[in-house]
Amino acid sequence: MTDIAVKVDHVSKSFRMYHERNQTLKATIMRGRRSVHEDFWALDDVSFDVPAGSTFGLIGSNGSGKSTLLKCLANIYQPNKGSISHFGSMAAMLEVGSGFHSELSGRDNIYLNGSILGMSKKEVDRKYDEIVDFSGVEAFIDQPVKNYSSGMYVRLGFAVAINVDPDILVVDEVLAVGDADFQAKCMQKFADFKEAGKTVILVTHDMTTVERMCDNVAWLSHGKLLEVGPAEPTIKAYLDTVTPGATE
């Protein structure tokens, strides 16, 4: 069993930014030239290892590349350069209601989202009560999720993802939505994960949460990795560069 859960190896990811774009063939002919664009590098040669059995944080101001990196980790994006390897099963909770169908009920979405995350119907049947109990949306479980609040969405989505029982859980700002009781349950789940030797990769702007939960941290800025190491000194180095309000 490797002591590395995830290896990020010289990863770069770009997006095409259009200044002038031809929407039709006619526009192309009339203008006599191609669309004008440039490449924006959201990630630029990023490398680090996530130790197995640890809680690992990604920090940085808005636009630093954290969410892009998480989507590369979850295979939603493919890097232009470099590679990402993970050793063990992975589940990702990246956006509120990701994997949900708005017209379906909470009950149906548990089975749909569970299937997307690799669970069989029997596995979902076995864990269904635990998922509903954790989410706290039992009274609304047969209502279409389009009627759910954002907090209900994320609680149900997180409850499904955490019960997939992956070796690696990737989480983006899930603690930002939900009351104190839900956040406490999340913290306990993360603690249970760590005790079981599993790995959590977490993004949040709440540095208190990162410092309390994370063993190691990677600090990104404008797509570049500035520092990676133990949580406390890396967070301090980051906060020393942040102007008030920059992390909001």
Q: Where do the domains of the chain lie, and which CATH numbers do they carry?
A: 4-9+49-239 (3.40.50.300)
Q: Which residue type sits at 57?
A: G
The per-residue pLDDT for 247 is 46
The Cα–Cα gap between 204 and 60 comes to 9
Confidence (pTM): 0.80
Look at residue 124 and give its three-state secondary structure: helix
> Cα separation of 5 and 2, whole Å?
7
Q: Dihedral sign, CA of 243, 244, 246, 247? A: positive
Residues of the chain with pLDDT under 50: 1, 246-248
Residue 184 to residue 216: CA distance in whole angstroms: 21
Residue 26: per-residue pLDDT: 58
Q: What is the residue whose two structure tokens read 């006619």?
A: 26
The per-residue pLDDT for range 22-70, each reduced to its tens digit, is 556 555 555 555 656 678 899 999 999 999 999 999 999 988 999 899 9
For residue 99, the one-letter residue type is G
pLDDT at residue 248 in the model? 43
Structure confidence at residue 171 (pLDDT): 86
Residue of 205, 175, 177 lying closest to 190 (CA atoms): 175
**pLDDT value of position 1:** 45
Say what the pLDDT of residue 181 is: 82
Long-range pairs for 131-134: beta carbons < 8 A, 24 or more residues apart: 131/156, 131/159, 131/160, 131/163, 132/106, 132/159, 134/158, 134/159, 134/162, 134/163, 134/185, 134/189
Rounded to whole angstroms, how far apart are CA atoms 45 and 47?
A: 7
